């Protein structure tokens, strides 16, 4: 019987792992893939993490994992299928976490599975994923050097992707469904200063076309007019979706699937805490995820004392 199982190994999960070891808790981190760091690994440059400006995202994620390893954190690679609340012979609650490879039991859970990229859901998107359609500019941008690409979205990630791709590509077209961007003003200023970036306002990508790879995208304006736009690649950055399916029925969620919890990270289920992007909150950043990991473990420690 473990004190704690941490599900997810992004910044929130790794922070929780460090704090759990410092608190002397018998804990285990379950990660879906043997690569810790979460979405920070896909970020070209992290410029707003205190004390480490300009850090490459992969390097930062690697440092997070090295810190957790150095603290003595234990890891298991598995895909969590279900979490069952149980009681021992003394009537004390614990949780059985079942994975594809096995199961583990613990008194507390820290949910830190984060989010994944949202799909456009248009014809051709699935067919050309990996053949010109990408959800990670820093992962795939190098394949499109001196070529023409398009980016869909209007938030921080979309604008960051466009700025990054403009360094590599001959032309970048940013397509946004509204008449203004949602990204931070500092990012917008950098974007608008780039000569090889064009912005298409009030429009959506409604189809991806090609033979063996992406050749055209269909751009449809909000007025209904459509045109075929030739590109070599399409980068999609239209938001995120919480990875919360294994917690469904166990804890309260909002209509989008985020786990409901306040700043104490406590969920509706006793002994279950949530940290990082999976939690309902206003700001989803690396620094808030790391903070959540620390808070969740602290609150879990208090809960364990009540047992």
Q: Which residues are catalytic?
A: 136, 139-140
CA 253 to chain centre: 18
Position 41 pLDDT exceeds 90: no
CA distance 287 to 103: 31
Q: Which residues pair with 98 in a beta bridge?
A: 82, 103
Residue 136 has a pLDDT of 85
**pLDDT, tens digit (0-9, with 9 covering 90-100), for 7-36:** 999 999 999 999 999 999 999 999 987 677
**pLDDT, tens digit (0-9, with 9 covering 90-100), for 120-138:** 999 999 999 989 999 988 7
Residues 39, 284, 256, 258, Cα dihedral to 10°: 90
Position 114 pLDDT exceeds 90: yes
Distances (CA, A) of 247 to 112, 136, 270: 11, 27, 13
Measured at the CA of 215, the angle between CA 214 and CA 220, to 5 degrees, comes to: 95
Locus of tokens 């995208």: 217
**pLDDT, tens digit (0-9, with 9 covering 90-100), for 130-187:** 899 999 887 789 899 999 999 999 999 999 999 999 999 999 999 999 999 999 999 9
The pLDDT of 267-293, averaged and rounded, is: 96
The pLDDT of 256-285, averaged and rounded, is: 96
Residue 58 has a pLDDT of 87
Residue 57 has a pLDDT of 85
High-pLDDT (> 70) share of the chain, %:
100
Q: Give the chain's largest Cα–Cα span.
A: 69
CA distance 60 to 175: 30
Please state whether the predicted TM-score (pTM) of the whole model is above 0.95.
Answer: no
CA distance 59 to 120: 30
Measured at the CA of 234, the angle between CA 228 and CA 237, to 5 degrees, comes to: 120
Residue 34 has a pLDDT of 65
Q: First vs last Cα of the chain: how many Å apart?
A: 14
Residue 47 has a pLDDT of 81
Phi-psi sector, 96: left (phi>0), alpha (psi -120 to 50), beta = beta
């Amino acid at each position: 019987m473990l004190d704690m199982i941490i599900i997810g190994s992004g910044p929130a999960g790794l922070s929780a792992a460090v704090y759990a070891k410092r608190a002397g808790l018998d804990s285990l981190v379950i990660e879906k893939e043997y690569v810790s760091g979460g979405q920070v690994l896909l970020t070209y440059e992290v410029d707003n993490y205190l004390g480490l400006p300009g850090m490459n995202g992969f390097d930062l994620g690697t440092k997070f994992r090295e810190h957790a390893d150095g603290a003595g954190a234990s890891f298991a690679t598995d895909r969590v299928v279900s979490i069952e609340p149980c009681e021992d012979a003394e009537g004390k609650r614990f949780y059985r976490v079942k994975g594809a490879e096995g199961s583990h039991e613990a008194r507390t859970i820290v949910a830190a599975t984060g989010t994944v990229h949202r799909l456009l859901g248009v014809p051709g998107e699935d067919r050309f994923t990996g053949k010109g359609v990408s959800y990670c500019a820093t992962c795939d941008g190098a394949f499109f050097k001196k070529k023409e690409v398009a980016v869909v979205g209007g938030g921080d990630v979309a604008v960051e992707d466009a700025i990054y791709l403009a360094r590599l590509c001959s032309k970048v077209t940013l397509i946004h469904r509204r008449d203004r961007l949602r990204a931070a003003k500092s990012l917008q200023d950098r974007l608008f200063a780039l000569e090889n970036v064009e912005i298409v306002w009030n429009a959506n990508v409604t189809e991806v076309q090609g033979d063996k790879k992406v050749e055209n995208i269909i751009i449809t304006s909000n007025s209904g007019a459509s045109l075929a736009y030739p590109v070599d690649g399409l980068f999609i950055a239209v938001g995120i979706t919480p990875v919360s399916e294994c917690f469904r029925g166990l804890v309260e969620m909002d209509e989008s699937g985020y786990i409901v919890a306040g700043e104490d990270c406590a969920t509706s289920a006793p002994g279950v805490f949530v940290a990082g992007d999976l939690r309902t909150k206003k700001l989803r950043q690396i620094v808030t995820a790391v903070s959540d990991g620390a808070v969740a473990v602290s609150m879990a420690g208090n809960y364990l004392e009540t047992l």
